[in-house]
């Protein structure tokens, strides 16, 4: 398994979930290396590079040492390492609440669909600047079918809504988040996104980690 390398170490830390339906919940964060997309505003571009090797057994031991009720596996794109994640999760007790952050372009394996408690699916819209397709309707349907997926969209304005609506996702599972990587950007962008959520009757998603720590990494 390859962890994203932050400075010289593989990235693993204990913090609170900053986004999505469980925002504010304590969890161990594991950031995996590698991504099949390259969003222009990505705040973890270092995760795209070659990562730091670790065995699933060693990683499981490190995760358990925090005695945390939750685990968030993020990236990069974690599902590029799906077999390794399956092995890792087999080494953890079922009592650990597992979230996986994914861009929604790779379908969950049956084993992961059965074990993961929450999928935080973040499909990328046109302003992400990717040259490859980012909205994969069938893959998103596969996530809907798990019954444990939330769909969080980074938005810049009302012009983003038609692409979201066209995906026909469960309205009660859609979260809109401001496109912001600093406290100042977040404060500026929030009001317009709140207005969008009110108009379309979907959930607003703040970015608590940005509000608390700005663009600091590993927190």
pLDDT given at position 164: 98
Domains of the chain, start order: 2-176 (3.20.20.70)
- pLDDT on residue 32: 98
Q: How many Cβ atoms sit within 10 Å of the Cβ of residue 216? A: 9
- pTM of the full structure: 0.94
Is the CB of residue 44 less than 8 Å from the CB of residue 4? Answer: yes
* pLDDT at res. 5: 94
The H or E element containing residue 25 is none
* Per-residue model confidence as pLDDT tens for the chain (219 residues): 999 998 888 999 999 999 999 999 999 999 999 999 999 999 899 999 889 999 999 999 999 999 999 999 999 999 999 999 999 999 999 999 999 999 999 999 999 999 999 999 999 999 999 988 899 999 999 999 999 999 999 999 999 999 999 999 999 999 999 998 899 999 999 999 999 999 999 999 998 888 888 877 877
Per-residue exposure over 162-174, b if at least 16 CB sit within 10 Å of its own CB, e if not:
ebbeebebeeebb
CA torsion angle for 91, 6, 209, 40 (degrees, to 10)?
A: -110
Work out the angle between the directed axes of helices 82-90 and 56-65 (0-180°, nearest 10): 50
Cα 76 from Cα 74, distance rounded (Å): 7
């Amino acid at each position: 398994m390859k962890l994203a390398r932050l400075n010289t170490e593989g990235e693993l830390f204990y913090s609170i979930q900053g986004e999505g339906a469980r925002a504010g919940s304590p969890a161990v964060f594991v950031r995996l290396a590698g991504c099949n997309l390259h969003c222009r505003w990505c705040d973890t571009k270092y995760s795209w590079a070659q990562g730091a090797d670790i065995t699933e057994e060693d990683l499981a031991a490190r995760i358990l040492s925090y005695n945390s009720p939750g685990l968030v596996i993020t990236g990069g794109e974690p599902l590029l390492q799906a077999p390794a994640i399956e092995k890792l999760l087999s080494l953890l007790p079922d009592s650990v609440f597992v979230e996986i952050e994914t861009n929604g372009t790779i379908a969950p394996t049956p084993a992961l669909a059965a074990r993961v408690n929450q999928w935080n699916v973040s499909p990328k819209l046109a302003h992400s600047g990717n040259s490859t397709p980012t909205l994969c309707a069938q893959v998103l349907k596969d996530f809907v079918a798990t019954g444990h997926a939330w769909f969080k969209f980074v938005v810049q304005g009302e012009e983003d809504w038609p692409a979201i609506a066209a995906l026909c996702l469960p309205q009660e599972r859609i979260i809109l988040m401001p496109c912001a990587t600093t406290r100042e950007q977040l404060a500026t962008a929030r009001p317009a996104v709140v207005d969008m959520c009110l108009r379309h009757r979907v959930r607003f998603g703040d970015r608590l980690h940005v509000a608390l720590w700005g663009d600091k990494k590993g927190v």
